[in-house]
Amino acid sequence: MRPEEVFVVWSCKTLQNNKAMLSTPVSDGMYYEITYNGDKNELYFDAYKKWENICFKL
């Protein structure tokens, strides 16, 4: 995977903290969360797999 193939789905900055949800064009159901804790100068990486997509009619 090349860095230019990774794209940002969502991002947010609150005070000194940042969070971004990332994905790739690979159809494996994976998405990634990067969190920067500005208070501790730490970066966290989480990887998730989408198991289901359920529609609830309202």
Q: Is 44 domain-assigned?
A: yes
Q: Is 56 domain-assigned?
A: no
Q: Is 58 domain-assigned?
A: no
Number of domains in the chain: 1
What is the predicted pLDDT for the residue at 19? 97
Query: Residue-wise pLDDT tens for the chain (58 aa)?
Result: 788 899 999 999 999 999 999 999 998 989 999 999 999 999 999 999 988 889 999 9
Q: Is 35 domain-assigned?
A: yes
What is the predicted pLDDT for the residue at 22? 96
- DSSP for 5-58, written as a single string: G-EEEEEEEETTEEEEEEE-S--S-EEEEEEEETTTTEEEEEEEE---------
Q: Is 55 domain-assigned?
A: no
Q: Is 21 domain-assigned?
A: yes
Where residue 3 falls (left for φ over 0; alpha for ψ -120 to 50; beta otherwise) is alpha
Q: Is 57 domain-assigned?
A: no
Write out the residue range of the structural domain in which residue 31 sits. Answer: 3-49
d(CA 18, CA 34): 8
What is the predicted pLDDT for the residue at 37? 97
